[in-house]
Amino acid sequence: MESQQYIRLSALNDMIHDTISAGFASQRFWVLADITNHSYKADKKIHYFELVEKAQDGNAITARMMGKSWGAGAVRIEEFEKNTGQAFTNNLHVLVQVSVDYHPLYGLSVSVLDIDSNFMLGILEQQRKATLERLVRENDFIQKEGDGYSTFNSRLRLPAVIQRVAVISSSSSAGNEDFRHTMQHNDFGYAFRIDEYYTVVQGDNNARLFLTKLIEIYTTGIPYDAVVINRGGGSQSDFLIFDNYNIARAVAKFPIPVITGIGHQKNISITDLMAHTPTKTPTRAAEFIIAHNRGFELGILSLQHNIVIKSQQLFHLHYKELSELKNAISRNAKELVQRHGEKLTRTNHQIASGSRAVLYDHHKKLMVTVQQLAQRPRMLFQQQKNDLLYVKDSIKNAAGEYLRREKLDLEYHHKSIRMMSPHNILRKGYAIVKVHDRIISSAENIEAGQEIEVILRDAKLKSTVKEKIQYDERETHL
């Protein structure tokens, strides 16, 4: 067998290396591909990965190439992550600038020199837009209104006072500590009950864990006033979980008002758009709740102030009416006494005038009789004398009877006045009952346990009604 001509493998690799280097030296290519099998050596700041191209059905791989990036390329990847909020990792569809390399030991590969952030931002925005459109299209409790969204959750009415709060957050979140500190050390002394529901709040793959916590809050049956979602600072990619369709849908439909304090300073997440009240940070979420309660307190204080003013106005109004009524009673009493005094004076004058008239008439008759007696015999004189005595007695009796009737009439009026006086009524065993300084004659508005004032002839009694027994006044026997 003739000896075959051969070369070493290393020589072949050198030839391939020289050929590729000659053909691709200083050439750069922008390549559209997906990232797989990614790993990162943090100590050396080197990325290792594969670039693959998939068929249109998204399953079969039609091309594959080993890739790496270090130095300036790694810096560009770091800038890409900062600008897009997306970590450079598996299953990313990227536009990268590469150079072709061939190493005798590691074979053919490409080096990523640059990556297009705008391309990725466009993809993320398309995904975000598609998610929002899907939320509106598939859920009747979500409607687009102008630049915002109206959801079942956003249409809920916040309780007048928020006191019991469920918080979904990471157990190690500094932002959540800020939230709790702000709530517990507020300037107004408001007390809150805060129940923690810890879970992972970053990474789109952890959406199921987040949804589990929402379900747990609902199934507890605890009447929470609000649910707060807290997420402190972090890289932009940490917030992508809040653009997840299922989380956004669950928040939009949740029956308890959701307040977000996700800490996303640049953009607002889809979950923010679906929630009742979005805020920028956990601290802002706490400040919103405190301000909400403060607004209710200020409303109550304003109402209290108005009640005091109205009460004072009513008091002055009724005080004036009572004063006028008191003056009217005093004035009417004086007028009544004056009228009866005048009547008594007129009666006295009438009695005196009547008596003089009667005496004058009888005096005239007597003078006539005297003259007649002087002209008649003694018998006639005696007869006239008897008549005169009779007349005299008649006059005396008539005058006495008249005076007695008038005196009885005066005594009757005097007794009537005395009987009508409160002092005389109290002496007879009756009592005057007052409630709130007002004399009452019916127990209609008196209830058991109410304080009353009983005025007797010689004392005032303050007592509390022990029992109220209704009866028909026609059946009352004193």
Q: Can you say how many angstroms the Cα of residue 34 is from the centroid of all Cα atoms in its chain? A: 54
Q: Please tell me the predicted confidence (pLDDT) of residue 313.
A: 84
Flag whether pLDDT at 309 surpasses 70: yes
User: What mean pLDDT comes out for the span 273-288?
Assistant: 92
CATH number of 142-280: 3.40.50
Flag whether pLDDT at 477 surpasses 80: no
Cβ neighbours around 98 below 10 Å, total: 23
CA distance 252 to 274: 5
Cβ neighbours around 284 below 10 Å, total: 17
Composition of the chain by helix, strand, coil, percent to 5: 50, 20, 30
DSSP line for 305-348: HHHHHHHHHHHHHHHHHHHHHHHHHHHHHHHHHHHHHHHHHHHH
Q: Is 231 helix (H, G, I), strand (E, B) or coil?
A: coil
pTM of the complete model: 0.51
Only one residue has tokens 């970053």, namely 202
Q: Is there a shared CATH topology between the 9-115 domain and the 142-280 domain? A: no
CA distance 336 to 321: 22
Show the tokens assigned to 233. 């600072």
The overall average pLDDT reported for the chain is 84
DSSP collapsed to 3 states, 353-413: HHHHHHHHHHHHHHHHHHHHHHHCCHHHHHHHHHHHHHHHHHHHHHHHHHHHHHHHHHHHH
pLDDT tens figures, 50-68: 888 887 766 678 888 899 9
Q: Which residues contact 253 (CB under 8 A, 6 or more apart)?
A: 139, 141, 151, 152, 153
What sections of 231-281 are H helices per DSSP?
245-253, 270-274
Q: Please tell me the predicted confidence (pLDDT) of residue 235.
A: 47
CATH of 9-115 among 1.10.540.10, 3.40.640.10, 3.40.50.300, 2.40.50.140: 2.40.50.140
Backbone angles phi, psi at 94, to 5 degrees: -125, 160
pLDDT band with cut points at 50, 70 and 90 for residue 335: confident
pLDDT band with cut points at 50, 70 and 90 for residue 254: very high
What are the domain boundaries of the chain? 9-115, 142-280, 298-420, 427-475
Residue 396 or 240, more confident: 396
Q: Please tell me the predicted confidence (pLDDT) of residue 265.
A: 56
Strands of the sheet with 258-261, listed across from one edge:
193-198, 164-169, 226-230, 258-261, 277-279
Q: Please tell me the predicted confidence (pLDDT) of residue 195.
A: 94
Q: Please tell me the predicted confidence (pLDDT) of residue 138.
A: 93
Q: Please tell me the predicted confidence (pLDDT) of residue 291.
A: 95
Flag whether pLDDT at 246 surpasses 70: yes
Burial of 203 (0-12, 13-18, 19+ CB in 10 A): middle
Flag whether pLDDT at 253 surpasses 90: yes
Select the highest-mean-pLDDT range: 1-5, 65-69, 127-131.
65-69
CA distance 154 to 276: 4
With a pLDDT cut of 90, the percent of the chain lying above it is: 27
pLDDT tens figures, 145-204: 988 899 999 999 999 999 999 999 888 778 889 999 999 999 999 999 999 999 876 655
* β-pair type (142-145, 148-151): antiparallel
User: What mean pLDDT comes out for the span 447-462?
Assistant: 85
What sections of 42-195 are H helices per DSSP?
72-84, 117-138, 174-184
Cβ neighbours around 428 below 10 Å, total: 8
Flag whether pLDDT at 232 surpasses 80: no
pLDDT tens figures, 271-280: 999 999 999 8
Residue 232 or 30, more confident: 30
Residue 124 corresponds to which amino acid? L
CB 67 within 8 A of CB 38: no
Closest CA to 204 of 153, 241, 250: 241
Residue 375 or 254, more confident: 254
Q: Is 65 helix (H, G, I), strand (E, B) or coil?
A: strand
Q: Is 264 helix (H, G, I), strand (E, B) or coil?
A: coil
Flag whether pLDDT at 243 surpasses 80: yes
